[in-house]
Amino acid sequence: MRDGVKLAHRGVPTVALVTEKFWAQGDFVARSAGLPDIPRVQLPHPVAGSGAVRMAEVAEQISEAILRAWAGTHD
């Protein structure tokens, strides 16, 4: 979340990827950084350390949501 905020503050189009376990903390970070509406996509938890096959599965599941968030459209 913090990396996404830093990029967004620099004007880089950003979509923050946040796991479900840390979604509430992401809300707090976004609000405290003055970017409460920063585009975000929720990932299952955990992703890190889950292996290349699982990470590829998650990427496939969220890729459309990332593109929609980046374009400013949401479900």
pLDDT over 70 at 46, yes or no: yes
Residue 73: the pLDDT is 66
At 47 the pLDDT is 85
User: Rounded to 10 degrees, what is the CA torsion of 60, 70, 27, 74?
Assistant: -80
Q: Residue 72: what pLDDT? A: 83
Number of domain units in the chain: 1
Query: How far apart, in whole angstroms, are the C-alpha atoms of residue 69 and residue 66?
Result: 5
| Segments forming the whole domain that contains residue 29 | 2-71
pTM for the full predicted model = 0.83
